[in-house]
Structure 1
Amino acid sequence: MSVRKGAMILYRCCWLAFVALVVVSVLADPLVPYGVTFVPAALAVVIGLLVGRRSRAERGKARPAVEIGPPVTGRWVALSSPADKVPSHGTHGYGQTYAIDIVAEPEEGGRPGFRWLWPLARPNRDFPAFGAPVVAVADATVVHASDGQRDHLSRTSGPALAYLMLAEASVRDMAGARAIVGNHVVLDLGDGTYAAYAHVRRGSLQVKAGDTVRAGQQLAQCGNSGNSTEPHVHFQLMDHPDLDVARGIPFTWRGIGVPAHGEAFTAADAPGHG
């Protein structure tokens, strides 16, 4: 086990211990001194700062962008793109430095927008991305494939988004990478480069660990599992198959580049995979 992996496990254990102590202090206040409750939380913060500092030092020499095919076909719109800022999702954790989110929008305005109050949540079938094919960006070997987690309702209203950011995301972070990315696929592209697809639809996998795939081959379907506001594809390249220790690698999609936030693009089928 690497030092970073061990640190991440200890980090989560500290936060879980903090939550447990808070619950115990509420239910049995005399048994837990008030100050003790915050010891594991303080330790978690220190570990997080140390891991972050080490990660910044390791990222001193950025790798060049890897050219690959797009992970979808059809018309999509980019969100949270590394073309606008790095890290694109506000964190280097889980190898997300150069990650991108994309949503299907077959025609402009063809997907439900954000609403401040109502409806609180929408079913996944309202979003054109739900069930869309997710394809291999290159010839590769499947390292990991899982699709057992449920696809939850959207978080595209003010109250639902607040719930996601203030409560749900924190709980998922304590539970680890699997709870954040939801159902996911990791491919080994060779040369120390791995591709990760997050928020895959439950029960949609067409591959398993150990399979070899060709560029453009369908892997699964887009879903809404894990830490997700709506059905979308979260895609990233990284230098390790374990999300806890992976560092992000920049990418560029062949014939498309790296679309900026709000930019629409159309990806064609790969040859032989119509």
Structure 2
Amino acid sequence: MQSAIDLTYPFEGRWLTQNSPANRVPSHGTVLLATSYAIDFVPVDGRGRTAPFKLGSLVRPEPAERFPGFGRVILAPVRGVVVRVHKTSLDHESYRGLPSVGYALTQRGRVAAGWESLAGNHVMIETGDGAVVAVCHLQQDRVDVRVGQEVGVGEELGRCGNSGNSTEPHVHIQAMDGVDVRHAAAVPVTFGGHLPRNGAIIDVK
């Protein structure tokens, strides 16, 4: 297995850590598609909260635009060359309460449909040592880089969206040893030499 790759947080502002490999591996409950060490960050407001949970949240989907991070700028967490871009997936509604149960029942179909159905709009960056870092669930048509482009740490990649396998706007990060996620091996990640645990609030100025 390739040694851990150290990344920079791909955003500014306040974000909540979820599905962290600091808590369990595989972090997303599966080793499929090189996700063993993947991590999610959910954008939150100054009080560490996502969109207010209202009575309607229990019974119907909510517009992704209601959530505080929809459209926030997402940055390159590593220096490298863009090797894959996808930007045409729709940003669907968000699912909490009972709607999240119905959404979960469609998970098998998304898995069967493959990587793009799960990752949604995304960018893959190949580093100098051969690792590939995927930044997923970006906003439709707001991916600002192209294949073959060299990017530096902190360069804008796109905007936070709700595309792919996502119940509310967030960004999913994973690293692997190749571009083909069907056959790649997962690579561990750290951020500034550390790995935040579930529930940790990350503030980046």
Query: Is the structural similarity TM-score above 0.5?
Result: yes
Count of residues in correspondence between the two structures: 204
5 Å-filtered alignment, 1:12-23, equals none
Q: What does residue 2 of structure 2 align with?
A: 63
* Paired residue secondary structure (1:163): helix
Q: Does residue 173 of structure 1 match 2:111? A: yes
* Paired residue secondary structure (1:190): coil
Equivalent position to 2:32, from 70, 73, 93: 93
On the 8 A contact 1:134/1:219 being kept in 2, the answer is yes
Equivalent position to 2:89, from 139, 149, 153: 149
Q: How many angstroms apart in 2 are the aligned matches of 1:132 and 1:119?
A: 27
Q: Does residue 193 of structure 1 match 2:122? A: no
On the 8 A contact 2:15/2:48 being kept in 1, the answer is no
Q: Sequence identity, in percent?
A: 36
Q: How many angstroms apart in 2 are the aligned matches of 1:241 and 1:250?
A: 16
Equivalent position to 1:82, from 17, 21, 24: 21
Q: TM-score, structure 2 length as denominator?
A: 0.93
- Give the superposition deviation at 1:109: 4.3
On the 8 A contact 1:100/1:236 being kept in 2, the answer is yes
- Give the superposition deviation at 1:64: 2.6
Q: What does residue 5 of structure 1 align with?
A: none
On the 8 A contact 1:92/1:247 being kept in 2, the answer is no
- Give the superposition deviation at 1:157: 1.8
On the 8 A contact 2:11/2:74 being kept in 1, the answer is yes
Superposed CA RMSD? 1.7
Q: How many angstroms apart in 2 are the aligned matches of 1:140 and 1:114?
A: 39
Q: How many angstroms apart in 2 are the aligned matches of 1:114 and 1:194?
A: 36
User: What amino acid is the match of 1:239?
Assistant: D
Q: TM-score, structure 1 length as denominator?
A: 0.71
- Give the superposition deviation at 1:119: 4.4
Kindly indicate which of the two structures has a greater share of residues assigned to strand.
2
On the 8 A contact 1:142/1:213 being kept in 2, the answer is yes
- Give the superposition deviation at 1:115: 7.0
Q: How many angstroms apart in 2 are the aligned matches of 1:221 and 1:134?
A: 5
